[in-house]
Chains A and B, each alone.
Chain A
Amino acid sequence: MASDTLMKRVGKIAADSNNGRDFGQGSDVLDCSFLWPFMAFLNAVLDRSRAVTRLSALFYGQADFLENLMALERSDVEKIAHLARLGLNEADIERTTGTLNDILGLIDHMQAVNTDHVEPLAHPLEAVQRLRPDEVTETNQRDAYQTIAPAVENGLFLVPKVIE
């Protein structure tokens, strides 16, 4: 909990406001209940830094988290790596499986939020895709662009043989 001095000072500020309530009284300091399972998981599994220990202090208390986690298996990670065209070696896959599960554990707490009847937000200002007349606006700069290509020949980009 924050220091008494802080409470007094915040209280003083809050008292100045029109409908000021004290900060941080009781249990509604910061409703991070969505993070409880995650933080408990962290506490159980990870070698935490001091800062995380500080953050996690708030979130102790619930440990029925593991059943919520749909842990990725090694085969899932291999499949994702293939979809992303990332050639991971054995050691990478091992390591990545653990880290991805940590990250997905964090992400999965979104599911507890009620978003019924809430429209997805793609652009903060709700802008729609701007259209322009279908006119040629760029000049051909193939030679310039090919100077930075890994392999070219006769103005073509070279890749390994695709058709046997």
Chain B
Amino acid sequence: MHMLTLAEISRALSAKEFSAEELTRVLLTRIAQVDPQLNSFITVTEAQAIEQAKAADQRRAQGETGALLGAPIAHKDLFCTQGVRTSCGSKMLDNFIAPYNATVVQKLADAGVVSLGKLNMDEFAMGSANESSHYGPVRNPWDTSRIPGGSSGGSAAAVAARLVPAATGTDTGGSIRQPAALTNLTGLKPTYGRISRWGMIAYASSLDQGGMLARNAEDCALLLQAMAGFDPKDSTSVDQPVDDYLASLEKPLAGLRIGLPKEYFGEGLDSRIADLTLKAVEELKKLGATVKEISLPNMQHAIPAYYVIAPAEASSNLSRYDGVRFGYRCEDPADLTDLYKRSRAEGFGDEVRRRIMVGTYALSAGYYDAYYLKAQRIRRLIKNDFMAAFNEVDVILGPTTPSVAWKLGEKNNDPVAEYLMDIYTITANLAGVPGLSMPAGFVDGLPVGVQLLAPYFQEGRLLNIAHQYQKATDWHTKAPTGFLE
């Protein structure tokens, strides 16, 4: 049962092959057995899950249908879940029981989705390895001595190990696409504003976007259909109709124009990943696509600009954690300043403190123009690159990551080295365009992902291409052996 995809589960539930409750119990048992090796869950919500599954079965018995009715998933632990701890991977929020549901959580619950729990992540979504979590690192099911990627590392590991068929994630600089690539999953970061950020704990508000990690494009489409849409509670949500993503999956690829940015294939990229990326291109050409070299000349400026914008926004967003109204408070504060300073120093981990410091400096008097405004100008150059490229091609294709999953602890003392690993994913967040990573093969037994980028609101096109590719290939069906029994 645990090997089924979301779409297969949906069909089996409607054919009454098993009930949502039966499936939920099977998955909960597996999580209890397998997850100690991976540490992908922070909180397993067993009682609520069974309650939700029973409710879904009841709704179905009353004649209700719906693709996700009774389908199990789990949420990255930065989506607020009413009555359930929402830690954001931080000691700061270890005692935070969310008083409301995030819009994404509510929409999925309304669709009858059963949530099995809350998934591990880098603290406040700051990281590319899932090693900055207060709850310990997550291990990659393909090799438990390696990282699963981050910040949605728990989401990636749980889905890859078949503990749950799909999971929500968020992507500020690659945090859905990179872990999806490193664990052989399909992950989608939609257009900025496509999915509501309300109830999603903020990291960098002009870059954050919710999305999902799943076993294939079809499952991503099922989830996106339920998650996308305008939300008046999110001031940056975009009021634009939601496409029929499932219907667009079957469109033939004939005439599709793919652009390969030369900047994505330079030195620094593992040549075996380059080979696999080009093999995926060959496959898409067989399906009718044409290919052309393009250039995104400002790509190289993305990392410096990102490491101004994201920390600046984070330093502002995280100023709310002051030990007064919720979250961690230090013992015996001497005065109010001591309360603030020690609560924040003790409640935040190294990487979070580091980014708050960088952001505070960048926004401090006299530096705003040189840092934040400069970074925003570069951001426009990067957006302009994409707009120019999309005049020539329909989608852009390249590797998702420059290397396969690295060893736990390998980059612990070197934050800048870890930052450089996001080189291919960060531009999509700065420009706000949608991006998808899909499995494209293996290097030394470790998964490799290929990234597709499309113009604003063309998530349907990305899912269409990935789905057609997945009909012609079987990389996405490979599962890590130790976790299947």
Q: Give chain A's interface residues, CB within 8 Å of chain B.
A: 1-3, 5-6, 9-10, 13-14, 16-21, 23-24, 29-32, 34-35, 42, 46-49, 51-52, 54-55, 57-58, 72, 76-77, 80-81, 83-89, 92, 96, 99-100, 102-104, 106-111, 113, 115, 118-125, 127, 129-130, 132, 141, 144-145, 147-151, 157, 159-162
Mark out the residues of chain B between 257 and 312 whose CB falls within 8 Å of any chain A CB in the assembled complex: 260, 262-263, 265-271, 274-275, 278, 281-282, 285, 290-293, 297-298, 300-301, 303-305, 307-308
* B354, B357, B381, B419 interface centre (most CB from chain A within 10 Å): B357
Interchain CB contact under 8 A, A55 and B268: yes
State whether the Cβ of B202 lies closer than 8 Å to any Cβ in chain A: no
B interface residue count range (under 10 / 10 to 19 / 20 to 34 / 35 or more): 35 or more
State whether the Cβ of B444 lies closer than 8 Å to any Cβ in chain A: no
- Taking CB atoms, residues of chain A closer than 8 Å to B344 are 84-87
State whether the Cβ of B54 lies closer than 8 Å to any Cβ in chain A: no
A-B contact count (CB 8 A): 275
A-B contact pairs, 18 of them (CB 8 A): A5-B275, A6-B271, A13-B260, A24-B266, A55-B402, A84-B319, A85-B319, A85-B340, A86-B353, A96-B354, A113-B301, A113-B381, A115-B378, A124-B206, A125-B192, A148-B97, A150-B327, A162-B336
- Taking CB atoms, residues of chain B closer than 8 Å to A87 are 338, 341-342, 344-345
Interchain CB contact under 8 A, B357 and A129: no
Interchain CB contact under 8 A, A48 and B417: yes
Interchain CB contact under 8 A, A109 and B324: no
Interchain CB contact under 8 A, A118 and B380: yes
Which of B135-143, B159-167, B403-411 interfaces with chain A? B403-411
Interchain CB contact under 8 A, B403 and A23: no
Known: A83-B360, A106-B416. A34 touches B304 (CB 8 A): yes
- Taking CB atoms, residues of chain B closer than 8 Å to A159 are 324, 336, 339
Distance of A161 Cα from B297 Cα, bound (Å): 56
Which of B111-119, B169-177, B242-250, B368-376 interfaces with chain A? B368-376
- Taking CB atoms, residues of chain B closer than 8 Å to A148 are 95-97, 99, 326
Distance of A17 Cα from B397 Cα, bound (Å): 14
State whether the Cβ of B197 lies closer than 8 Å to any Cβ in chain A: no
- Taking CB atoms, residues of chain A closer than 8 Å to B17 are none
Interchain CB contact under 8 A, A100 and B267: no
